[in-house]
Structure 1
């Protein structure tokens, strides 16, 4: 052996340690420099089994794989055997504890390896040298809660630490940590954790609503929840609801049912969310009744759904007075699926938008069915004919849907989160993802509120007084719709004026359609406009004045819109009676993590300032290193059977989910098997990919807003 090796040997065997953990850390650092990995091996305890008195730490390639695993035949194995790593290496460090002083000394040390050593730039990837620090765990947990994928988290860490070799872990370690963290979160059971969480939220917020249903064996089979802000949003914007149950986005294969609508900016607003075990009329009735209980029995004016027959029956039973229409997006999808002749497709599509009278429309239907020889009641075309009153324009004319028809507004998808929802998600993970979507929607609303409060849409200098007034009373998004009606005023023309005792009716036509007449009725009280209405009923259906009304108001030299033409739900006063909650209230943080987050933010600001000066940089670096090493040495004083690792495992690195113990044990839902043969439904559900966006699911049921 060389003199250098001898000096190194004498230096190692002369080492003394204050704890077994310190001895392990020393040997692990030594292994990092040399290019091998270590692991704890043989251990001895004292007579009372209270203290460790001897520890052997060996090269990770010590020993050999057990003979029984080597002799097994490939056909007996469930998976391909892992590569061999044990080669009988004899390198080791044995340390023992002095009973008198409690300190540890080196009893045996062998530094001869029977395998090649890794170069320095690769040894950091060996198992014992990979470790996620506590501060990294806290940051990783936060990033995952924000929906950042694990491989992206690894990319972020590599960028922050200037290379993979400085991070201290690899992507697999992040996956393992996140999985263990999730398992700890739902250790009481997936469904039980969700129920305890919601119980605790209701204890903190008396207006938080949730209700669940279990089967005879105690398994969760129905759940609905809505926070206080969602309930206030429904009070302001609950005239039209859109919901769909086509999204089976959890490992139990249960339908996920979001209830959504439009806010005063015509953006998606979420009223609540539910999960049911089976798509039956009874399940949907329970869901709708629960929703009504949550919303003080306020039923929506109109509902838009997919073509599920069980859902249709439930709506007729629970909300008999609500208008119901089918989502045009689903119909368009199924036209492609069920019809293969292009001419038949186009003729069928014409029924969606045909605005002829009902009698004329019925004649067209009969001729269409006869021409295509549709006689079977089981055929898709016949089913669509039977349900025509739910989707054909003549039957829906004059009903309030706020312009929603769900046809071809794919741009609505860009208003949602881009994080993916895995098909194997637990209920609690799905709840977290829903809350992220909810927070995203509310941030978007806050930005639109700021824009509406701090600016007024641009109007030309020569714009009419009515246009300028409309720009100040409607929100910017709604004003764009109103502007379309104003721009078409020039195409209108008065045909005649019918005067009554208290009102006047102006008959108006479009110049290109003089055969089609609309009656604008003006009612006055005390010389002031009291009520304005038009036979086209756009004001009642979409909530905005039509071009006919703007034309007549211009003829009457009106400079401001009467209040009856400005529905409150399209103005900034729509929520003036409520104090909005903008922040996500799902999580709490431990006191230590709150302190860490505050100190981290302060240190980031201080570090950025210090990095511009050599003197400030070195001063701050010395201060931080002294603080870090001081805490580290004091922490490693423990020398009992309850090791420091056990203490670390008890730390909660992510947010604390509020739990309540005031709940009976609720078992996880029973997994719903695949659908098998398709059920009899008006429209076939589109096949879902394994990974899809929950927010896209919410937006897709609002896929279009017909601004016309």
Structure 2
């Protein structure tokens, strides 16, 4: 498009009054011939190798079938090359990328487990535990060293954890379990990498954490409000007060509302030391002032107001 000096484009902006994204500019004039309907599937933006085709191609490649024969089979399967939706190079790249990722995963898993095993040799108080699936692949992993375990023994009254700290290239949630010491400094109790964010996986994590910490229960738990976390906490940490971290609430409010003035006023209200009646009055005024009575996220947040911390 740049070589043809094509001006065709459109601009999207967020309309604060309508509380929605709108198209603010649209230029339809092209400086070159546009693709017809039969050609659009071969544009880079339209080409896509489905997960089904990729899995089939990987299986055929592992069976020793040549790439050219795989492409021929795929073409015949859909009734012609024009119905394929991608080029032979796209399919080859998808297969190669999958093989590279699989090799990386196996290598990273082996290196990680070897490191944790050697760590246990030099630090007898360290702890790690993991699960595998039916194919022998790594599922969940938790680890903690002797210093972290000692910190939890002395300071493990409040436990905070979430899976928003970082996601690796395999798109698996990375969980940090932290607390606060007598100097009001953050201390780390352990780390975990989960297969995915489900109640069973979080139940496994909490049970493993308690096993690591000699069954010592925290006196309170603070999380980001994830529903799977909440379900696991109710199952494993029975009777332990659970609260929602105000920092995460503020961060999510910025994403859910797109109104800096509201977020600022909301943060002030959430931290204010006022009576229940005064809070209710200010909340109703704040929602009405910004026209947010229909915002589902705020409705759910208000329903959990007793959990804010």
Fold similarity call, TM over 0.5: yes
Alignment CA distance shift 1:228-1:385 (3 Å): same
What RMSD in Å do the two structures reach over aligned CA positions?
Answer: 3.0
Shift of 1:200: 4.0
What is the correspondence of 1:522-537 to structure 2 with a 5 Å cutoff? Answer: none
Matched residue SS, 2:225: coil
Shift of 1:373: 5.7
Shift of 1:382: 0.6
Alignment pair present for 1:385 and 2:302: yes
Shift of 1:263: 2.2
Q: Distance in 1 between matches of 2:267 and 2:105?
A: 52
Alignment CA distance shift 1:316-1:363 (3 Å): farther
Asked whether the equivalents of residues 374 and 382 of structure 1 are also in contact (C-alpha less than 8 Å), the reply is no
Alignment pair present for 1:349 and 2:234: no
Matched residue SS, 1:244: strand
How many residue pairs were aligned? 210
Which of 313, 317, 326 aligns to 2:244? It is: 326
The answer for the alignment partner of 1:548 in structure 2 is none
TM-score (norm 2): 0.59
Q: Structure 1 stretches of 5 or more lacking a match?
A: 1-75, 79-185, 397-708
| Higher-Rg member (1/2) | 1
Q: Distance in 2 between matches of 1:323 and 1:380?
A: 23
Query: Relative contact order (C-alpha < 8 Å, sep 6+): which is higher?
Result: 1
Shift of 1:238: 0.9
Shift of 1:239: 1.1
Q: Distance in 2 between matches of 1:353 and 1:228?
A: 36
Q: Distance in 1 between matches of 2:170 and 2:164?
A: 14
Which of 135, 143, 152 aligns to 1:234? It is: 152
CA offsets per residue over residues 323-353 of structure 1, 9 Å max, x none?
Answer: 3232222222233333345553344223311
CA offsets per residue over residues 281-331 of structure 1, 9 Å max, x none?
Answer: 221111111111111111212222223222222222222332323222222
What is the correspondence of 1:271-282 to structure 2 with a 5 Å cutoff? Answer: 271-282=189-200
Asked whether the equivalents of residues 210 and 226 of structure 1 are also in contact (C-alpha less than 8 Å), the reply is yes
Q: Distance in 2 between matches of 1:356 and 1:343?
A: 21
Shift of 1:371: 5.9
Which of 295, 298, 306 aligns to 2:216? It is: 298
Shift of 1:271: 0.9
TM-score (norm 1): 0.27
Asked whether the equivalents of residues 202 and 228 of structure 2 are also in contact (C-alpha less than 8 Å), the reply is yes
Q: Distance in 1 between matches of 2:270 and 2:247?
A: 11
Q: Structure 2 stretches of 5 or more lacking a match?
A: 1-87, 91-103
Q: Distance in 2 between matches of 1:217 and 1:187?
A: 14
Q: Distance in 2 between matches of 1:285 and 1:342?
A: 37
Alignment CA distance shift 1:346-1:226 (3 Å): closer
CA offsets per residue over residues 33-90 of structure 1, 9 Å max, x none?
Answer: xxxxxxxxxxxxxxxxxxxxxxxxxxxxxxxxxxxxxxxxxxx999xxxxxxxxxxxx
The answer for the alignment partner of 1:218 in structure 2 is 136
**Runs of 4+ residues deviating >4 angstroms:** 340-343, 366-376
The answer for the alignment partner of 2:68 in structure 1 is none
Alignment CA distance shift 1:372-1:219 (3 Å): same
The answer for the alignment partner of 2:112 in structure 1 is 194
Shift of 1:217: 1.2
Q: Distance in 1 between matches of 2:123 and 2:247?
A: 38
CA offsets per residue over residues 506-560 of structure 1, 9 Å max, x none?
Answer: xxxxxxxxxxxxxxxxxxxxxxxxxxxxxxxxxxxxxxxxxxxxxxxxxxxxxxx
